[in-house]
Structure 1
Amino acid sequence: MSETALKPVSPILVSLVVSLAAFMEVLDTTIANVALSHIAGSLGAGSEESTWVLTSYLVSNGIVLPLSGWLSGLMGRKNFFILCIVGFTVTSFMCGISTSLPMLIVFRLLQGLAGGGLQPAQQAIIKDSFPPEKLGMAFAITGITTVLAPILGPTLGGYITDNYSWRWIFFMNVPVGLLAAFLVKILVQDPPSAQKQNVGSIDYIGLGLIAVGLGALQIVLDKGQQEDWFDSSFIVFFATISVISLIVAIYWLLQQERPVVELKLFKIPSFGMPCVMMFFVGFALYGSTTLLPMMVQSNFGYDATLSGLLLSPAGVVVLFMMPVVGRLVNRVPAKYLISLGMLINALGMWATGLVTPQTDYATFVFVRILQTLGLPFLFVPASTLAFSKISPQHSSNASAIISLTRNLGGSIGIALVTNKLIHSQQIEQSYLVQHLTMADAGYRYALETYTQAMTNLGVPAALASTQAMGKIYQELLHQASILAYRDAYNFVASLLVVLGIAALFMPDNKPQKQEAPAASH
């Protein structure tokens, strides 16, 4: 008998219940981004110091993610999931009542530790709740959480911050968390493979190496741009620690009989290659979600709420596309859907690079929809293919690895596109400055027009010329910034095109013809 047959509760209902908790946690990865200036002002801190509110959460979250499979085996997956929900709820409340920045950072660190196990546990529970031929629909439900929450985070965070208080960003988790914990307690059941197991004593060496390596890597990615990357001894130190720790960790984990992270799962081709694709799902999702609000706020005068609302329609489109792709997975090989998703996203990134200073709100909404339209074609097939050869006893470990690769992709994506943006601004500005000479007809015309306009307002001739040059330089900076965003989007588009072609060489999958993994267990 299949393990899924042991569950009397509807798989759809179980999926919705566990997704409620995971949605809350994923939302918190982006919801605080737009509130940093408010948090800094309220707690008497600088804007640079306030970024540790994000960093502390991401660092601790990244450390727990790969350990969640081992912890699920130690205490049982359901018990671990409930513990994560309760811990996340309590620490969310403590974040909301924090009276100083150090206090908030400590509780954000604990919040990340508590919430780190929610995504992998949710994915593993949903995977084991559905028969193999319906895995596509299962991961369509998972994808709604994973893809929709980061899109809606800035919208919700901006609205709450502008209309209420940044503290409600954390307080809103309390009733949701309590409800989720209650529903999981009464509705979710662990199959035999997910109950308490004899996992042995924890591999403290492996755990320590992973914690140090991932923690240092996250600090490098989050602080690299502010510290001027490898020109900073601070970044060089943490980068060195990260590389050494992770290399030693990989070697150590491969030698262990009971490792905290099952790296040997990467030997399965249908698991390893989709993990690479999931890395770039995070890259495209978080990178693009970071760029667009920055662009419209810095160059088009949008406030936090309006820039967040810019992202919402795309979230609605993703919501409707997920079940559609979930049905397509059993009809079309995953590699073709993944390739299509990469190319659609690439088209959206390229289209966003075509914006001009006159681009309106409706156009931004359209290009954002195009940016995210391909995400369901990436997430659902990649998840389905990754789990197609994973046995139930390895579900939790596989989920932890997939969640980690996606989150790392997001962190690296944000770091790379931000660095590309800053570098391109300098290049574009240098290029445009070359045209600010009297030999350039456009510059002469603009200077004469602005000087005449200033003179007509009663400004003395000498001062009018100076002010006109200042006005032209402001426009130059504005145009250089928009061109830099174009370069950043084109960079992401080029990468996605290459990946779209590479996806065609992934293993074939025919999930509708596979036998249930549990049957062989």
Structure 2
Amino acid sequence: MSAKAGALPRAPGGHSPWAVALVVALATFMEVLDTTIANVALRYISGGLAVGPDEAAWVVTSYLVANAIVLTASSFLAKRYGRKAFFMWSVALFTLSSVLCGFAWNLESLLLFRVMQGLGGGGMAPLAQSILADSFPPQKRGQAFALYGLAIVVAPVIGPTLGGWLSDNLSWHWCFLINGPVGLISLGLMHWLLQDSDEAVKERRSLRARGVRFDIVGFVLVATFLGSLEVILDEGQRKDWFGSNLIVVFASLCAVSFLLMIPWELNHRNPVVDLKLLFKRQFGACFLVMMATGAILIATTQFIPQITQEYYGYTATLSGLLLAPGGLVTVAMMLVVGQISGKVQPKYLIAIGATIVALAMYRLTWIYGDTTFSFFAWVRVYIGIGLPLIFISITSASYEGIDKSQTDQASALINVARNVGGSLGVSLAQNVLAYRQQFHQTRLVEGTIPSNPAYQDTLARATQYFSTYGDKGVDAQGQAIAWIGQEVARQVAFWAYIDVFLVLAIVSASAVPLAMTLSKVKLGGGAPAGH
């Protein structure tokens, strides 16, 4: 029986393509949500597992690195073993590891399960695009990708607020346990609705017939390089860098894997990472810009809630709500930028976006003890204006000048850049925070000595205050000395965070000259569909 004129063709398997789009968007929403939901809960995780804030930051970085590693392999594995099968295995691993994260008993177990979660999540987002492309005719794909894009931009908006509310009212464990029922529902719907297209089946059979094998050596080298680099950056400050045997071992692994990876990937017939793309001026510049953007995106969603909870007395919920206005502006800007991107060269939009973000980060260096909620919220709004200018424009710019056969690799590498940049950004900020706290502590303590007249005057005034208003059962001078110590620690923290935000402003500003080196692209044509 023929389809009615004008009716939307059915997706592979005979189901409605919109039903397929909804289930794909649901799974993607769940995965993207997890990149930000735990950020505002790090203080609870730190306290619950009895670890420091810098160690708790591994909860974010371990997920991002594992996610990036799998992104490099997702295209080939989906083609070789089937999109439906690989997508379902990815969702199943993500769901199982999410539940295990919720039951983690110490930091080591939580990090192991977060790595597993990242490995599962890394295959979901790129596969979703391929499934949508197979399910919709070309003239309707724009609407399908709009629904998919909505899931991607709304999830980070909801993530911090939901994570904060769950942490305050239930426990941080529920930031991960909530994925359990959502994942099971997604798996059931996928089993029922998804079906590989005839073209995908033919491609899978062709790969098997030609004996094309997965680049396992390249994959191991990439994983070793990225994993070792992350260990060095996360543990270096605590382990005294190269004074630690652990750091020396991982630095050696990082260097050796990097040196072996380059010739292997450049000469392999089917490389897991097409390094030749990175050597192209256009794509290489886009890769670096996306790394800088990922660093700002992830670092700000972690460090703004961190400082507001530790030094301004905000609850996790309030810290999450602080990020929400910026997220809503991001959603609106995605629509605006989508309209103007066909009329303005990507290089100019990227440069404008990076400038706005850099100025917003510099604005954060104005924080002080009485900084208000609206100050932080407005900074996030400005960041929310700038980031979409970069994210959308980088897509069309990165595909310029590459072969159609390389679009899968290009799509994967741009996503890798975002995740690796986010992980490196958090590690960089954490190291700057720790180092500058030590620096400012040394400088400020120099002034709190008995021979300093200013210190004596402050001590006398504080002692008089506590003798009048303090605890009568406690020595007033002792209370005054303790108060001065607390104020010094507070000022040390503020100065260190100011340094962190200044470094992030410089990182964002560095994207401006990179953007201006990009070539002009043909406007209005859109980017080729990636995987």
For the criterion TM > 0.5, the same-fold answer is: yes
Q: 1:452 aligns with which of 461, 464, 467?
A: 464
Q: After superposition, where does 1:32-51 map in structure 2 within 5 Å?
A: 32-35=38-41, 38=44
Give 1:169's aligned residue: 175
Code of the aligned partner of 2:363: A
Letter of the aligned partner of 2:68 in structure 1?
Answer: G
Determine if the alignment matches structure 1 residue 204 to structure 2 residue 216: yes
Q: Does the 8 Å CA contact 2:162/2:320 hold for their aligned counterparts?
A: yes
Deviation, structure 1 residue 233: 2.1
TM-score (norm 2): 0.83
2:76 match: 70
Matches within 5 A, 1:352-367: 352-367=364-379
Distance apart, 1:379 and its partner CA: 0.6
Identify unmatched segments of 5+ residues in structure 1. 1-5
1:110 aligns with 2:122: no
Secondary structure of 2:438's aligned partner: helix
CA pair 338-51 structure 1, distance change in 2 beyond 3 A: closer
What SS does the corresponding residue of 2:510 show, helix, strand or coil?
A: helix
- The answer for the alignment partner of 2:3 in structure 1 is none
Partner secondary structure for residue 356 of structure 1: coil
Superposition deviation, residue 297 in structure 1: 1.6
Cα 1:113–1:459 change in 2 (3 A) is: closer
Q: Distance in 1 between matches of 2:361 and 2:139?
A: 34
Could you tell me which amino acid in structure 1 is paired with residue 468 of structure 2? N
Decide whether the 8 Å contact of 1:128 with 1:392 is kept in 2.
no
1:334-373 equivalent positions in 2, closer than 5 A: 334-373=346-385
The amino acid that maps onto 1:21 is A
Q: Is 1:136–1:326's contact at 8 Å kept on the other side of the alignment?
A: no
Q: Which residue of 2 aligns with 1:3?
A: none
Pair 268,211 (structure 1): closer, same or farther in 2 beyond 3 Å: same
Per-residue deviation at 1:265? 2.8
For each residue in 1:403-436, what CA deviation from the matched residue of structure 2 results, as whole angstroms up to 9, or x when unmatched? 1111110111011111112222223333333444
Letter aligned with residue 234 of structure 1: L
1:250-261 alignment, distance < 5 Å? 250-261=262-273
Q: Secondary structure at the match of 1:374?
A: helix
2: CA distance, partners of 1:78 / 1:481: 49
Gaps of 5+ in 2: 1-7
**In structure 2, the residue corresponding to 1:330 is in which secondary structure?**
coil
Partner deviation per Cα, 1:79-123 (whole Å, 9 max, x = no partner): 422331233223333444556766555443332222221133235
2:31 is equivalent to residue 29 of structure 1 = no
Report the Cα distance in structure 1 between the residues aligned to 2:445 and 2:463, rounded to whole angstroms: 19
Q: CA deviation at 1:223?
A: 2.8
Given the alignment, which residue of 471, 477, 486 partners 2:489?
A: 477
The correspondence for 1:87, drawn from 87, 93, 97, is: 93
Please report how far the alpha carbon of residue 485 of structure 1 lies from its aligned counterpart in structure 2 after TM superposition.
1.2
Is the CA contact 1:132–1:515 (under 8 Å) kept in the aligned structure 2?
no
Deviation at 1:271, TM superposition (A): 2.8
Greater mean deviation of Cα atoms: 424-433 or 186-195: 186-195
**Which one is further off, 492-501 or 261-270?**
261-270
Look up the match of 2:320.
Answer: 308
**Per the alignment, do residues 223 and 144 of structure 1 end up closer, same or farther by CA in structure 2, a change over 3 Å counting?**
farther
- Which amino acid is 1:245 matched to? S
Residues 153 and 494 (structure 1), Cα distance of their counterparts in 2 relative to 1, 3 Å cut = same
TM-superposed deviation, 1:188: 7.3
Shift of 1:16: 5.6
Q: What amino acid maps onto 1:478 in structure 2?
A: R
SS in 2 for 1:60: helix
Verify: 1:291 aligned to 2:298, yes or no: no
Q: Is the 8 A contact 1:322 1:380 kept in 2?
A: yes
**Distance in 2 (alpha carbons) for counterparts of 1:281 and 1:130:** 31
Code of the aligned partner of 1:74: R
Q: CA deviation at 1:28?
A: 2.0
Give the aligned length: 512
Q: CA deviation at 1:51?
A: 6.4
On the 8 A contact 1:193/1:392 being kept in 2, the answer is: no
Alignment partner, residue 60 of structure 1: 66
Q: How does 1:428-507 map to 2 (within 5 A)?
A: 428-436=440-448, 443=455, 445-457=457-469, 463-507=475-519
- After TM superposition, the score normalised by the length of structure 1 is 0.85
Picking from 203, 228, 239, the partner of 2:251 is 239
Q: Distance in 1 between matches of 2:46 and 2:283?
A: 42
1:334, distance to aligned residue in structure 2 (A): 0.4
Larger mean Cα displacement after TM superposition, 266-275 or 234-243: 266-275
Letter aligned with residue 99 of structure 2: F
Give the alignment of 1:503-514 within 5 angstroms.
503-513=515-525
**1:76 alignment partner AA:** G
The AA in structure 2 aligned to 1:494 is: I
For 1:135 and 1:501, locate their aligned partners in 2 and report how far apart those are by CA, in whole Å. 34
